[in-house]
Structure 1
Amino acid sequence: MTPFPPEPRERAQAPHSREEWVDQWRTTAIVWMTVFHAVFDLQNWRVLEIPHFHQNPAWMWQRTLIVTIFLSCMAVSQALCHGRQQAAAAFWRRWLQIAGAAALVTAGSAVMFPTSYITFGVLHAVAVMLLVLRGLRQVPWLGWDRPALRWRDHVPGLLLAALMAVSPWMMRHPVFDSRWLNGTGWVTQLPITQDYVPLFPWLAVVLVAYEFGRWTLAQPGRWSSGRARWPQGLRWPRGMLILSRHSLSYYLLHQPVLLASFAVILRIVRGAWPV
């Protein structure tokens, strides 16, 4: 699981250029992800006893919700970037960072988990989804080149999302079970891997969130202030939002830091390094 591209900066609103409500959601997902991975690491080292962790519905549903929040934040951010005419150079710079990070994840996981390394995890999915969204902006019947002022302006995108949601059941075939094609999601059996976020049906979540982002752009009075969109008692302090603004760096570093910290603590408490 991973954070996603930061929100765009609005040229005319320097002090409040970021959409704080998106930062709040992404920070929530980052904190949740950190707790999830901490529990995963501790049960992997048999400090916690959680039988069949990877098949435990309570934990797997948490993973699904965390990924949903991350992908939704990414898609909303892209809709805002598109609506505010983000420079192409900024997009490609961020895309190269994400694609490079995905390659690092594959290389690192291949060393740690030779039989279940990651070939299409969250970062890989985000890198491809960013390209898909950029390409879909050129599709005339989606209408993404104009403001979504009426409810029916969202219908084409939502219909496409519905088609993507059901495509794994319509298109699955053994040919997609290979390690290098299972990223489509059209598999007949799930791959054995440490992280797996296939394009389908997850692109459906991304398209729905993108349409929501277009809707917020059409209602600037309601959504221009993030502070008004988040319950006061549940709001993260502004200092915590740095996690959202540096989400990719945090994602790449949090697991090594967690593992190193737990290893040192267990060495002190147990007198031996965990294995």
Structure 2
Amino acid sequence: MASPSNINNSKITRLLFIDELRGMAICMMVVFHFCYDLNYFHYTQFNILESSFWTTWRTVIVAWFVFISGVSISFAPNNHTHFIKRITKLFLSAVTISIVTYFLFGNRFIYFGVIHFFLIATMVTYPIRENKKSLAMLGTLILLISNTCQLSVMNPNYLNWIGLNSLKPATEDYAPLFPWLGLYFIGVASAPFLIHKKSLKIKALSVLGQHSLMIYLIHQPVLFLLFSLASTH
């Protein structure tokens, strides 16, 4: 079984298959947010926050991102500089998202969305990513607990980021540690089985996957701007 310690990072700088999978998730996310914005600007009347179709679609996208990100961290370079840069980017991105969405959505601002989750998941996982078996077991346990434990005492905003709350919070994006950290750990544990997967040879997807954080941050402001301009005419 391959492991990060057996991988020559100078030769394998990107795993194109993983980038392509992430690129697919990016495409799905942009389409979802385009539909969300159609609804937000009253071009359509989807029940996008409660409809099982739309909530399932969002769940699939988040699950895809989380799993692939877990796989990816297994192949990150073994140096503290890379880790600190990654954490800094995620921290600044998370803070920016919270501030901007506070002014846009008020009390529904994003205080623990996907980027906030990735910040914590990266900090927790990076030092222990070599322990594949332990992470697989812990990830499975987290998923089981998530499906069986919902507590009203965990409903306040200062606790519901953990994910064991019984009520869904009113926020524009929500990605708590339970269950998503479980899937992230399983992604880390699955990495050795995916390292030798052949590329789909779809360059556009791999490019999108390699710039996923930037695209995540800018695509929705761009869509909002375009819809705002269209609404004024």
Q: Same fold, TM exceeding 0.5?
A: yes
Tell me the matched-pair count: 227
Higher relative contact order (CA closer than 8 Å, sequence separation 6+): 2
Q: What's the secondary structure of 2:220's corresponding residue?
A: helix
- Name the counterpart of 1:249: 214
> Are residue 61 (structure 1) and residue 61 (structure 2) matched?
no
In structure 2, distance between residues paired with 1:170 and 1:34: 32
Q: What's the secondary structure of 1:180's corresponding residue?
A: helix
In structure 2, distance between residues paired with 1:170 and 1:55: 22
Deviation per CA, 1:204-225: give whole Å up to 9, x if none.
Answer: 11111111113345xxxx33xx
- Name the counterpart of 2:98: 106
Deviation per CA, 1:29-58: give whole Å up to 9, x if none.
Answer: 1111001001001111110121x2211111
**1:135 and 1:86, CA in 2 relative to 1: closer, same or farther beyond 3 A?**
closer
Deviation per CA, 1:222-252: give whole Å up to 9, x if none.
Answer: 33xx42xx3xxxx53x244322222211111
- Name the counterpart of 1:120: 112
Q: Is the 8 A contact 2:41 2:227 kept in 1?
A: no
Instruction: Give the TM-score normalised by structure 1.
Output: 0.76
Q: Is the 8 A contact 1:168 1:187 kept in 2?
A: no
| Residue in structure 2 matching 1:161, options 135, 139, 146 | 139
- Name the counterpart of 1:183: 161
Q: Is the 8 A contact 1:119 1:180 kept in 2?
A: no
**1:208 and 1:239, CA in 2 relative to 1: closer, same or farther beyond 3 A?**
same
The range that moved more, 124-133 or 239-248, is 239-248
- Name the counterpart of 2:3: none
Match of 2:228, as an amino acid?
Answer: A
Q: What's the secondary structure of 1:113's corresponding residue?
A: helix
Give the superposition deviation at 1:193: 0.5
> Are residue 34 (structure 1) and residue 30 (structure 2) matched?
yes
In structure 2, distance between residues paired with 1:59 and 1:68: 14
CA RMSD of the aligned region, Å? 2.0
Q: Spell out the pairing of 1:146-225 with structure 2 (5 A cutoff).
A: 154=133, 156-168=134-146, 171-217=149-195, 222-223=196-197
> Are residue 266 (structure 1) and residue 226 (structure 2) matched?
no
In structure 1, distance between residues paired with 2:112 and 2:9: 35
Instruction: Give the TM-score normalised by structure 2.
Output: 0.89
Find runs of 4+ consecutive structure 1 residues off by over 6 angstroms: none
- Identical-residue share of aligned pairs (%): 26
Uncovered stretches (5+) of structure 1, i.e. residues with no partner: 1-8, 138-143, 146-152
